[in-house]
Structure 1
Amino acid sequence: MSTPSSTPSPIPARPRRFLRNLTAVLAAVVVLVSTGTLNIEWNELPQMPEQVWHYLYLMFSDPDWSKLARALAEMWRSIAMAWLGAILCVVVSVPLGMCAAGDVGPAWLRSLLRFVFAVIRAFPEVVIAIILLTVTGLTPFTGALALGISGIGQQAKWTYEAIESTPSGTSEAVRAAGGTTAEVVRWALWPQIAPSIASFALYRFEINIRTSAVLGIVGAGGIGSMLANYTNYRQWDTVGMLLIVVVVATMIVDLISGALRRRIMKGAHTRVVASDN
């Protein structure tokens, strides 16, 4: 018997590490340059844990609960501001996001809308609120507008990405039956993306709850304005009480919103009951 001659397997090429090493070096240079331009007082860093503990003790050792009623009212104002901003965001962003999706709007409209959404996402909520302050004044409505406008860019992006990730079979069937683009959106796309859009809207509401406290610092009203005022006057016992209210209220909203999002995405849990034969 003749055995086939074994041919030696080719040796794999040595991986090139130049690009990886160059990326690591550039990242290290960026970190060093960024650290050097911050004017950090390195000799004060060892004292930071002691200072943090000192202020935490001033805030939470004996919180001042005498202003709890007002804090709850301002917290409710922040929640209302966040909810109004979330509704405004959904009403505007969902139709625009649909027009920006592939196979829905024309190419020139998709490019224009996606550019606008990217520009909106580049502006933080605080910057939008400062711009709106010159028009609407120091009111909670300014905060609601800032939250709504800021959320449009992200919510619209979620919308057209949800549309583009759906299977195309239903849309093709509606088009094959002679359906227009509007009918494709209504009968093919919307039933598939509605749960995701509702889940995204609730998630955006959770984000607005946290952001509303920051907007109050620039005068948009709510619990943030009260927190900024008492921080400026260094009334740490009241600041501690306000932080407790913010944390508890945010956790409650997150629990409720999370349960609703799970119910929307997964549906109600069905219970199988065994029947006696």
Structure 2
Amino acid sequence: MTVMLNAPVPGAPTAPLPGSRGLPPRRSRVAATAWAIAAALVVLAAAGTLQISWSDLPSVPGQVAHYLRLMFEAPNWEKLPRALFETWRSISMAWIGAMLCVAVSIPLGMLAANGVGPLWVRALLRGIFAVLRAVPEVIIALVLLTVTGLTPLTGALALAIAGIGTQGKWVYETVESAQEGAVEAVRAAGGTTADVTRWAIWPAVAPALLSFALYRFEINIRTSAVLGLVGAGGIGSMLSNYTNYRQWDTVGMLLIVVIAATMLMDAVSGAIRRRIMNGSR
């Protein structure tokens, strides 16, 4: 009598097939496909309402190359001294705007953080920050022009006011992400909210907030050139004037100065930020 060692025992459970053990059910891709189709329809609707002349697109690269050649083939360096002076005014405007923004946003941002300010203060400040973030710097500058006139002060105030919204949000998010150990230690020792802010929160978040302040200065340098286009002074006003007069060789020189100054300020500010965050390493 022959015994089959591998024969299944009647009534015993059948083992699952290899490769099918523990596999979760396949997720449906209907929702993802529907969202992708909806996004594509929105893009098509936006493109259709812009009244774009698609037949002109093939000529765009040639026109861009033509104007780049007019600007950079032989830049006019006669206006370089004035361009450097206006660039310095733009940098000064950006620096004053950054300092005013930081001086206001740090205390207000800390009050807007959970555990520091009361609920009604947090809600009010966060609402103000959201409104300021929604208004572009150019709009604020246009409103201030009626009060301060066509001066660099207009640009500095516009940069300061517009930056408070973003800077305040960075401040309270940084405070809320700080370690809780020092805060609990100060509270356990009987410290008030002011003591907690001074001796626990501020030492923990100061390097990050100083880094954000320098980053605000970098942003203001770029934005100051745009504000000059609406008459806020600086290199942007000079660039707007020569663009309107179609003096492309001078425009090319101004763009070179703007790019060089921006890259230089970014390098210096970035080195200082790395020193603040990483120490002397």
By the TM > 0.5 criterion, same fold? Answer: yes
- Secondary structure, counterpart of 2:79 in structure 1: helix
Task: Pick closer, same or farther for the CA change 1:11–1:174 going to 2, 3 Å.
Answer: closer
Q: Given the alignment of the two structures, is residue 194 of structure 1 paired with residue 220 of structure 2, yes or no? A: no
| 1:20 Cα deviation from its structure 2 partner | 0.5
Task: Pick closer, same or farther for the CA change 1:155–1:7 going to 2, 3 Å.
Answer: same
Residue in 1 that maps onto 2:61: 49
After superposition, the C-alpha distances for 1:207-249 in whole angstroms (9 at most, x for unaligned) are 0000000000000000000000000000000000000000000
What is the root-mean-square deviation in Å for CA atoms of aligned residues?
1.6
Residue in 1 that maps onto 2:180: 168
Residues 256-271 of structure 1 mapped to structure 2, 5 A cutoff: 256-269=268-281
Residue in 2 that maps onto 1:272: none
Q: Which has the larger radius of gyration?
A: 2
TM, length-normalised to structure 1: 0.94
Residue in 2 that maps onto 1:248: 260
Residue in 2 that maps onto 1:179: 191
What are the ranges of 5 or more consecutive residues in structure 2 without an aligned counterpart?
Answer: 1-8
| 1:112 Cα deviation from its structure 2 partner | 1.1
CA distance in 2, matches of 1:140, 1:129: 10
After superposition, the C-alpha distances for 1:136-194 in whole angstroms (9 at most, x for unaligned) are 11110000000000110111111111111111010010011010101100000000110
CA distance in 2, matches of 1:88, 1:166: 25
After superposition, the C-alpha distances for 1:38-71 in whole angstroms (9 at most, x for unaligned) are 1111111000010000000000011110010000
Choose which of 126, 132, 136 in structure 2 pairs with 1:120.
132
Percent identity at matched positions? 66
CA distance in 2, matches of 1:95, 1:55: 48
Residue in 1 that maps onto 2:115: 103
After superposition, the C-alpha distances for 1:71-121 in whole angstroms (9 at most, x for unaligned) are 000000000000000000000000000000010001111111111101100
What are the ranges of 5 or more consecutive residues in structure 1 without an aligned counterpart?
Answer: 270-277
Residues 131-150 of structure 1 mapped to structure 2, 5 A cutoff: 131-150=143-162
Residue in 1 that maps onto 2:6: none
CA distance in 2, matches of 1:25, 1:208: 39
Residue in 2 that maps onto 1:60: 72
TM, length-normalised to structure 2: 0.93
CA distance in 2, matches of 1:12, 1:194: 48
Segments of 4+ moved more than 6 angstroms: none
CA distance in 1, matches of 2:277, 2:251: 38
Q: Give the count of matched residue pairs.
A: 269
| 1:13 Cα deviation from its structure 2 partner | 2.3
Choose which of 141, 148, 153 in structure 1 pairs with 2:165.
153
Residues 201-240 of structure 1 mapped to structure 2, 5 A cutoff: 201-240=213-252
Q: Given the alignment of the two structures, is residue 90 of structure 1 paired with residue 110 of structure 2, yes or no? A: no
CA distance in 1, matches of 2:26, 2:94: 56
| 1:126 Cα deviation from its structure 2 partner | 0.5
